[in-house]
Amino acid sequence: MDFSPILAATAPIKLHLAALAVAVPLAPVQILAPKGSPLHRALGRIWVAAMAIAAASALFILDRPLSPHVGPFSWLHLLAIFTLWSLWRAIRAARAGRIAEHRGFMLGLAFGALLVPGLFAALTHGRILNLALFGR
């Protein structure tokens, strides 16, 4: 693994990757661990904060537009907005006791906002994560 592409990245990319370094390993823990416990709630708060930071920082990653894009904005910026909205809906559902709705949003976020974009970033030639994992 070569960290030089990450170290050379812009501040929003570094913040984005740092937040994901927290969110990614917590996701399977939250999915597999018993639900409703104080530990689940505490780790959930950390996970939500990390995901919110990752999504918000993604909105400032403007130097690597992907097709299709409008100016510096790509479909990943729409995903970031959708992620923030989904986090808000998931928290609202949990607080209202709508646990099935909460679970649906959280599983959707784990797969749709972490796994799929993570695989895309890791496997797309030239992306910073791809360069860090597999070199030039």
Taking only the tens place, the pLDDT of each residue in 66-116 is: 666 677 788 888 999 999 999 999 999 999 999 999 999 999 999 999 999
**pLDDT tens, position by position, 2-38:** 899 999 999 999 999 999 999 999 999 999 999 999 9
**pTM of the prediction?**
0.91
Tokens of 47: 């996970």
79 burial type by CB count under 10 A (0-12 exposed, 13-18 middle, 19+ buried): middle
Counted domains in the chain: 1
- How many CB atoms sit inside 10 A of residue 47's CB? 23
**Domain interval for residue 56:** 4-134
Banded pLDDT at 62 (limits 50, 70, 90): confident
